[in-house]
Structure 1
């Protein structure tokens, strides 16, 4: 059975990159469409310069997502996403401090981010695979 997985390793890496990139590209686009709401949400958390932070988030999600999708410098961008997801999860999805009735939804979002961080660790460790701009490096 291991031989079956080994023979498809590069295809699986490509599919994994597509799935990892999708959430960032899609949410980056949605943040553009709802920029005022995103800025307001960031401001509601007491963070400074919410419009700047929202803009940087859009750039990171769209550009970083495209880099993961293409496999260009994907190990480095995976590290950036991994590190970025730590404060993002702790600030925006603090389920332990969520208002009554929102705990479960925030816990799901928090755990989703932790799962994405796991995917980023795999990408950092094993690279993007042969079907990438970097050619598996």
Structure 2
């Protein structure tokens, strides 16, 4: 029972983090686009929308358990990309807090990788995906 609760809470935390990120993007799409443009990316408004929609897809995967491992892996790549682009070494000299933000992304990465390997748990999880196998389910 404790394992099930821990997994469900972790899934809710993952979903909550990405839901907040998406809601901030939707609430201030122009500001998000400006932030993306400041990092030097082309088509910042388009990329802001892509990021928001991607984050909504992650929320759905974490809440339902469908394509959970795939979502966790994609989220891991996304989180590390964000760490380097928006909080990486080039930002540290101007603001030491950026180093803390950068490191925080790695703790999130660790959780996402752990989740990707262990899957969505046995309860309240749609078992759909490309990575999810019977072998992975029996390893639990």
Question: Do the two structures share a fold, i.e. TM-score over 0.5?
Answer: yes
Distance 2:109 2:49 in 1: 22
1:35 pairs with 2:20: no
Tell me the secondary structure at the aligned position of residue 98 of structure 1. helix
Question: Counterparts in 2 of 1:72-91, with a 5 A limit?
Answer: 72-91=66-85
Q: Tell me how far 1:132 sits from its aligned partner.
A: 2.7
- Alignment match, 1:12: 6
Q: Note if contact 2:64-2:125 (Cα within 8 Å) is conserved in structure 1.
A: yes
* Counterpart position of 1:134: 126
Q: Which residue of 1 aligns with 2:96?
A: 103
The answer for unaligned runs of 5 or more in structure 2 is none
Aligned length in residues = 129
TM-score in terms of structure 1 length: 0.85
Contact 2:15 2:59 in 1 (8 A): yes
DSSP 3-state at the match of 1:133: coil
Deviations 1:18-62 (A, max 9, x none): 111111001101111011100001001111111111111101111
Q: Which residue of 2 aligns with 1:46?
A: 40
What is the alpha-carbon distance in structure 1 between the residues aligned to residue 100 and residue 53 of structure 2?
25
Deviation, structure 1 residue 100: 4.9
CA distance in 1, matches of 2:19, 2:43: 23
Which residue number corresponds to residue 3 of structure 1? none
**Cα shift at 1:70:** 2.0
Spell out, residue by residue over 1:85-115, the C-alpha distance to the aligned partner (whole angstroms, 9 max, x if none).
Answer: 2221100111x322655222x1222122111
In 1, the alpha carbon distance for the partners of 2:2 and 2:120 equals: 13
Distance 1:61 1:47 in 2: 19
Which residue does 1:115 correspond to in 2?
Answer: 107
